[in-house]
Amino acid sequence: MKRTIGFAAALAFLGVSSGFAQEPAALIEKLKSKDADEADNAREDLLKLGAAAIEPLREAASKSPDAAFKKTATAIAERLETRKAAAGLVKSWGDRWYAVFIRELKVGWAHFKAEEKDGLIVLDTELRVQHGKENVYHIRVAMTCRPNEYLSVESLTLDLASPENSVTATAQVKENRLVVKTGGETKATKIRSNTVVDLAVFPLVTLLPRTEGYEVEVLELIKPKLPEAAIVKFDKEETIEFEERKVKTRRFMQTSGSGKDRFFYVDAAGRLLRVQLMSDDDKDVELILSDEKRAKDIDTKD
């Protein structure tokens, strides 16, 4: 008589871990464990399991009276949902232009373009703000990101010119360190797995579910500084004026230790219509989705 060996049994017979063969429910039970190592291993296995774990995690979180477990299960589900959405970012985002306003005066433009190369996402971003003929701030960043839940940066080039100084730099991520080369110097900074470049937050918010708190560390390039802990969360549904009509949006808020919140307005089609933030000199700054011609038609004053 022939005997068949189940997949899980075959893995065990071969000495291979059967973590991936487990049902999501079994891993979710381990996620509840008081043993920190067992819970951490379950978390990693659920993340490796991928999209198949999303619904079971959501269901378990909705039924559990344990607040800590609900938060953990929800956070894993949100990461997996965002990762799933990231696979389609290049197609959904494409090529976008934004008009930049400071206190309702159009002073510049921003251009964000997403392309796919060798299974990675290439984000080419450019920002130009001009106050008069001499006061010009221009930044261009080309970054290669993984299509995951944080759009994790693999490498980037930065060219920044402002009235105060000019910076040209390249960077690569190696073994959880951001290795930056600029001005003949090389510096390495340890970064966490959830580090997001500030300009990558713009497309990232279009991928997020209605999260109560998506934890990231934001690497600032516009005003270069080390990664800072931040929370991106769904704030509320809001109807805004866009192109002379009312549009329903999901408003996301980014908060950090700097105390200057940023707001992102995403419509039902996943378009980022508006961004509101505060400049270092406490001026209201707004980016509004536009096209190249209108975005570059700025109101400069001498």
On whether both 167 and 291 belong to a single domain, the answer is: yes
| pLDDT number for residue 7 | 40
Same domain, 123 and 269: yes
Percent composition of the chain: helix, strand, coil (DSSP 3-state, to 5)? 25, 45, 30
In a domain, 103, yes or no: yes
DSSP lists the bridge partners of residue 117 as 120
Asked if residue 2 is part of any domain, the answer here is: no
Position 300 scores a pLDDT of: 58
Residues 207, 151 share a domain: yes
pLDDT value at position 5? 43
DSSP string, 39-69: HHHHHHHHHHHGGGGHHHHHHHHHH---HHH
167 lies in some domain: yes
In this prediction, residue 6 carries a pLDDT of 47
Q: How far is Cα 198 from Cα 219, in angstroms, rounded to an integer?
A: 6
Q: Which of 86, 103, 130 delimits the end of a domain?
A: 86
Q: Does residue 251 share a domain with residue 136?
A: yes
Whether residue 18 is found in the same domain as residue 98: no
- Same domain assignment for residues 242 and 96: yes
Q: Say if residue 143 is in the same domain as residue 171.
A: yes
281 and 160 part of one domain: yes
Compute the distance between CA of residue 218 and CA of residue 229 in angstroms, rounded to an integer: 6
| CA–CA gap between residue 277 and residue 284 (Å, rounded) | 6
pTM for the full model?
0.88
Token digits of residue 46: 């659920």
Specify the number of domains making up the chain.
2
302 lies in some domain: no
User: Do 69 and 94 fall into the same domain?
Assistant: no
**Which H or E run contains 98?**
strand 95-102
- Are 251 and 237 in contact by the 8 Å Cβ rule? The answer is yes
Q: Output the pLDDT for position 112.
A: 98
Q: According to the model, what pLDDT value does residue 2 have?
A: 43
Structural domain that includes position 31: 7-86
Task: Supply the pLDDT for residue 43.
Answer: 96
* Final residue in a domain of this structure, among 22, 52, 86: 86
- Does 175 lie in the same domain as 142? yes
Q: Are residues 98 and 162 in the same domain?
A: yes
Q: Per the domain annotation, does 226 fall within a domain?
A: yes
User: Does 281 share its domain with 157?
Assistant: yes
* pLDDT value for 286: 96
Burial of 257 (0-12, 13-18, 19+ CB in 10 A): exposed
Per-residue pLDDT of the chain (302 residues; tens, 9 = 90+): 444 444 444 433 333 344 445 689 999 999 999 999 999 999 999 999 999 999 999 999 999 999 999 999 999 999 999 999 999 999 999 999 999 999 889 999 999 999 999 999 999 999 999 876 778 889 999 999 999 999 999 999 999 998 878 889 999 999 999 999 998 899 999 999 999 999 999 999 999 999 999 999 999 887 778 889 999 999 999 999 999 999 999 999 999 877 789 999 999 999 999 999 987 666 799 999 999 999 999 765 54
Burial code of 137-158, b = ≥16 C-beta within 10 A, e = fewer?
A: bebebbbbbbbebbbbbebbeb
Domain boundary among 86, 121, 142: 86
